[in-house]
């Protein structure tokens, strides 16, 4: 029987529906359909949030727990549940809303709740009302909030509509994934995803990781938990795992301990899994760690390079990237055999029109075989968002939360025409065969520094696994065909692909297991060609400040005022010193 609890007054009031019994809970993973098919070129990743939250349901055997992923299951076919649980990132908003609408219409007496990064961002942007169709909205970690909610819900206690948890969950107590979900669905996805750490000690101006409560320091999962989860995944047959972390080397001692445990586990069991993670350029200063990461089978590393201009890096307070010659640091890291996936950004106030050429040169000199720039956006809650707001430079478009390609929520300092022309110059050169070939050769040259450690696994990028996945999605199949056509129909692409293959073959005499490098290089090149094919001025939903813009607004008054972030003041001051110092220089330039 349904019970309706009367609405409370106040901003978070609502009518709360509770039931006699809570017996069925359905987790709905509803990523944006188009982006899900195209963003990762057909590679689909597992719904970590659902595997995680389900593990915290006390006495799960008392419930009928189900998991649906709208990339495989039609919302129309999802049977009734007492509780529908949603999550997502900002770009999933429209799909979440439409999936919710279908399920609500079919099951009007069910309760619908949502959490995840999207709720945090909307709340930061003051746009929480965009989720008003949900009965309850959760902000923050869910490991404790979710079971607490379930208990209160089942007991028919009155619950606020918005439930915010500011305390971080102690991840050293983390439970493993809910096995029935993982075991039943893992084969749908590209490898596995395992969360190993939360938080980052740095303070980049554009980054929203720093603004989550108590997230400016590492929260590390226990090494034995990580190994136990890897062991389970490996025994299921998973051979590629994304180790989800904001910065894997935010705590060097912990990172080394994790590596030692993984190496020990591999030797003990003979199991091997290729790993990918996120970390900072500082890794280049730690040769022992670099070697151990390879021995532990880390294959690819995402590093926020952001820019090859020191001024832009200072502006965004990415000081760790200015401490050492960036190209040299990247070469050193890659000399061990890692493929660095570089995060790159255009649109900093300090960017000059040659930013595009600097990036092309930097990528080629460093031998980066992956990395694709995006345009600077201001994520809600970040100091950059506040700066843009204070100077009236926020754009209120559909992308107010950021995350779309060629579309931004801020007005750039560089005139729009220059931005678009520069980006297009970048794209043209980036896709040319001789450029691609040169950067592959530069990558391979890095391996001659005497540090190369071959992987003991098939590598993170598996062509076979990828192709089998692509065939499950019509959009991805279409992309694959376009990709094949591109190689076959352009003599230059065929020519340079062949040259590259021969180059890799010849280097294989010196270094074992290089074929994966060739695959990954070709995958990235053809991705770029697909993505940028037919790119025109009209594709850019961007704006710049008007002519005659008052340059003093680059550094608006009150930028350095207390922003309410839960971070030691001295650290914030250090970030502001870098940003303010650089911006002050810009305000006087004409
Ligand atoms: C691994 C990862 C990826 C992987 C795989 C993601 C996947 N499994 O699908 C890849 C590389 C593919 C990826 C891609 C992208 N990612 Co990503 N990614 C991450 C990362 C590092 C970990 C995600 C994760 O699994 N975390 C572990 C789970 C358990 O955390 P969680 O989902 O937040 O859930 C917790 C809480 O939020 C809460 N919760 C969640 N849902 C619910 C629901 C209820 C009811 C309750 C009570 C609680 C609750 O409880 C959980 C446990 O505490 C995060 C950063 C981070 N540290 O989280 C970024 C992050 C999620 N990614 C982000 C972005 C922007 C992207 C991209 C858009 C990047 C791009 N421009 O292409 C794409 C989008 C891809 C897509 N379609 O989803 C942003 C999202 C920001 C936002 N607000 O939207 C994040 C937060 C990083 C950041 N701060 O910038 N990503
Ligand atoms: S280093 Fe990366 S995760 Fe850390 S604050 Fe900077 S952008 Fe964010």
pLDDT in tens, 245-290: 999 999 999 999 999 999 999 999 999 999 999 999 999 999 999 9
Give the model's pLDDT for residue 8. Answer: 30
pTM: 0.93
Query: Distance (Å, rounded) from C-alpha 401 to C-alpha 408?
Result: 9
pLDDT in tens, 147-178: 999 999 998 889 999 999 999 999 999 999 99
Query: Distance (Å, rounded) from C-alpha 149 to C-alpha 155?
Result: 10
3-state class (DSSP) for residue 59: coil
Tally: H helices and E strands in the chain:
20, 18
Task: Give the CA-trace dihedral at 465, 468, 473, 475, to 10 degrees.
Answer: 80
Q: For residue 491, count CB atoms less than 10 angstroms from its CB and return exposed for 0-12, middle for 13-18, buried for 19 or more.
A: exposed
Query: Distance (Å, rounded) from C-alpha 300 to C-alpha 451?
Result: 16
Instruction: Specify the DSSP element, H or E, that contains 407.
Output: strand 407-412
pLDDT in tens, 448-467: 999 999 998 888 887 777 77
Q: Whose CA is nearest to atom 10 of ligand 1?
A: 45
Q: Whose CA is nearest to atom 9 of ligand 1?
A: 45
Judge if the beta carbon of residue 210 lies within 6 A of ligand 2: yes
* Nearest ligand 2 atom to alpha carbon 216: 5
Backbone angles phi, psi at 86, to 5 degrees: -115, 160
Give the model's pLDDT for residue 512. Answer: 86
Q: What is the distance in A from the centroid of ligand 2 to the CA of 494?
A: 38
* DSSP letter, residue 125: T
Q: What is the distance in A from the centroid of ligand 2 to the CA of 320?
A: 10
* DSSP letter, residue 272: -
What mean pLDDT is predicted for residues 5-26? 51
Query: Distance (Å, rounded) from C-alpha 76 to C-alpha 358?
Result: 50
Of 107, 112, 145, 127, nearest to 30 by C-alpha is 112
Query: Distance (Å, rounded) from C-alpha 314 to C-alpha 115?
Result: 34
What mean pLDDT is predicted for residues 466-475? 76
Q: Whose CA is nearest to atom 2 of ligand 2?
A: 304
Band (pLDDT 50/70/90 cuts) for residue 590 is low
Domains of the chain: 3-164 (3.40.50.2300), 190-590 (3.80.30.20)
Give the model's pLDDT for residue 39. Answer: 65
Q: Whose CA is nearest to atom 1 of ligand 2?
A: 202
* Nearest ligand 1 atom to alpha carbon 246: 57
pLDDT in tens, 335-358: 999 999 999 999 999 999 999 999
Are 387 and 317 contacting, i.e. CB atoms less than 8 angstroms apart? no
Q: What is the distance in A from the centroid of ligand 2 to the CA of 574?
A: 15
Query: Distance (Å, rounded) from C-alpha 20 to C-alpha 1?
Result: 6
Residues contacting ligand 1 via CB (< 6 Å): 31, 35-36, 39-40, 45-46, 48-49, 52-53, 85, 87, 89-91, 113-118, 121, 138, 141-143, 145-146, 169, 193, 195, 198, 208-209, 242, 244, 246, 278, 403
Give the model's pLDDT for residue 4. Answer: 29
Q: What is the distance in A from the centroid of ligand 2 to the CA of 291?
A: 23
Taking the CA of residue 171 as centre, how many other CA atoms within 13 Å lie in the half-sphere pointing to its CB? 22
Categorise residue 480: left if φ over 0, alpha if ψ from -120 to 50, beta otherwise.
alpha
* Nearest ligand 1 atom to alpha carbon 44: 9
């Amino acid at each position: 029987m349904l019970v309706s609890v009367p609405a409370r007054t106040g901003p978070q009031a609502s009518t709360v529906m509770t039931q006699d019994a809570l017996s069925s809970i359905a987790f709905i993973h509803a990523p944006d359909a188009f982006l899900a098919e195209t963003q990762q070129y057909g590679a689909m990743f597992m719904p970590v949030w659902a595997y995680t939250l389900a593990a915290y349901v006390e006495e799960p055997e008392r419930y009928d727990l189900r998991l649906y992923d709208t990339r495989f299951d039609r919302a129309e076919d999802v049977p009734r549940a007492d509780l529908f649980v949603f999550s997502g990132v900002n770009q999933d908003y429209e799909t979440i809303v439409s999936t919710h609408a279908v399920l609500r219409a079919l099951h009007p007496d069910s309760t619908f709740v949502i959490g995840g990064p999207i709720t945090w961002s909307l709340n930061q942007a003051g746009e929480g009302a965009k989720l008003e169709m949900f009965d309850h909205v959760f902000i923050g970690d869910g490991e404790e909030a979710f079971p607490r909610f379930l208990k209160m819900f089942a007991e028919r206690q009155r619950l606020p509509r918005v439930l915010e948890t500011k305390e971080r969950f102690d991840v050293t107590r983390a439970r493993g994934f809910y096995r029935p979900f993982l075991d039943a669905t893992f084969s749908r996805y590209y490898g596995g995803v395992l969360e190993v750490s939360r938080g980052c000690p740095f303070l980049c101006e554009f980054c929203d990781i720093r603004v989550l409560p108590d997230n400016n320091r590492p929260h590390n999962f226990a090494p034995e938990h990580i190994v136990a989860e890897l062991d389970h995944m490996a025994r299921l047959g998973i051979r590629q795992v994304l180790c989800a972390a904001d910065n894997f080397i935010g705590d060097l001692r912990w990172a080394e301990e994790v590596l030692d445990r993984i190496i020990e586990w591999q030797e003990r069991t003979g199991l091997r899994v290729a790993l990918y993670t996120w970390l900072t350029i500082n890794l280049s200063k730690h040769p022992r760690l670099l070697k151990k990461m390879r021995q532990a089978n880390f294959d690819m590393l995402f590093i926020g390079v952001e820019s090859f201009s020191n001024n832009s890096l200072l502006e965004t307070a990415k000081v760790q990237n200015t401490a050492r010659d960036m190209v040299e640091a990247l070469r050193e890291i890659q000399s061990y055999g890692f493929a660095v996936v570089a995060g790159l950004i255009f649109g900093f106030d300090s960017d000059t029109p040659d930013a595009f050429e600097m990036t092309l040169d930097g990528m080629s000199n460093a031998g980066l075989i992956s990395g694709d720039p995006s345009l600077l956006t201001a994520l809600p809650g970040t100091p950059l968002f506040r700066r843009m707001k204070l100077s009236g430079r926020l754009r209120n478009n559909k992308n107010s939360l950021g995350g779309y390609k060629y579309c931004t929520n801020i007005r750039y300092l560089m005139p729009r025409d220059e931005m678009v022309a520069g980006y297009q110059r970048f794209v043209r050169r980036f896709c040319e065969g001789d450029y691609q070939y040169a950067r592959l050769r530069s990558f391979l040259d890095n391996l001659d520094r005497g540090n190369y450690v071959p992987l003991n696994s098939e590598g993170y990028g598996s062509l076979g696994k990828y192709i089998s996945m692509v065939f499950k999605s019509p959009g991805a199949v279409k992309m694959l065909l376009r990709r094949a056509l591109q190689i076959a129909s352009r003599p230059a692409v065929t020519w340079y692909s062949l040259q590259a293959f021969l180059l890799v073959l010849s280097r294989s005499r010196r270094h074992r297991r290089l074929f994966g490098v060739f695959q990954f290089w070709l995958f990235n090149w053809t991705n770029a060609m697909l993505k940028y094919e037919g790119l025109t001025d009209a594709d850019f939903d961007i704006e710049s400040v008007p002519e005659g813009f008052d340059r003093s607004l680059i550094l608006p008054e009150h930028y350095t005022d207390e922003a309410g972030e839960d971070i030691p003041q001295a650290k914030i001051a250090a970030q502001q010193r870098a940003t303010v110092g650089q911006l002050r220089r810009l305000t006087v330039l004409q």
